[in-house]
Amino acid sequence: MTPKESADIILKDIWGNRGFPVDPVWIAKKMGIRIIETKLPSEVSGALIKDKGSDPVIIISKTDSINRKRFSCAHELGHYLKRVENEEESYQYVDLRNNDSASGTNDEEVFANQFAACLLMPKEDITRLYKERVPSFMLAQKFSVSDDAIRFRLKNIKLSKI
C-alpha cells in the first residue's frame, strides 16, 4: 500500500468523522499502541519498540513542541504499519534527527514521513481549502502542524506526488 492509501484507511476506519486536527496519539491508542512521552537523547526524535508478547510502544520526546510530537507520533505509526505488514513479532526502531529521512534516500523513512503527512494533512481537505484561498498559516493552525510542514505538503500536492 502507498502511504496515502494506508493513511486514508486509518482516517476512515479509526478516526472517522472527528474532524481536524487529527490526533495521532488517540489513533495509536485505539490501535493498541502505548504512548510514552519521556526525555530522549537530543539526537533522538522518536522510537517504536515491541517485545514479543507485549504491546507495541511509541516513544516521543516530551521536550518537543506539540506539533513536533504529533508529527513524530504519526511518523512512528507509519513505521508500525510496516512492521505489521511484515508480521514482525518484535522490533526496535529508533529515529534520529538529521538522519537520511529528510534527504529521501531511505525508503522506510520516506514511507513514514509521507504517511504522517497524509494522516495529519489529508490531500483532499488541504486541496479544497487551498482552492478556497485559505492562507497557509491558517491551514497550519487548522491541521495543527508547523508552517514548514504545511508548505512542504502544499508543494508535494501541487507536484501531485502524494
Q: Binding residues for Zn ion, per CB under 5 A?
A: 95, 109, 112
Report the residue number, 56 or 109, with the smaller CB distance to Zn ion: 109
CB of 11 to Zn ion, least distance (A): 20
Beta strand residue intervals within the chain, DSSP E: 34-38, 44-50, 57-61, 91-96
CB of 133 to Zn ion, least distance (A): 34
Report the residue number, 2 or 138, with the smaller CB distance to Zn ion: 2
Q: What is the DSSP letter of 10?
A: H
CB of 132 to Zn ion, least distance (A): 33
Starting at the earlier edge strand, list the strands of the sheet with 44-50: 34-38, 57-61, 44-50, 91-96
Q: Give the chain's end-to-end CA distance (angstroms, integer).
A: 12
In the complex, residue closest to Zn ion by CB:
95
Report the residue number, 112 or 150, with the smaller CB distance to Zn ion: 112
Report the residue number, 40 or 112, with the smaller CB distance to Zn ion: 112
For residues 57 and 34, the answer to whether their CB atoms sit within 8 Å is: yes
CB of 109 to Zn ion, least distance (A): 5
CA distance 76 to 27: 12
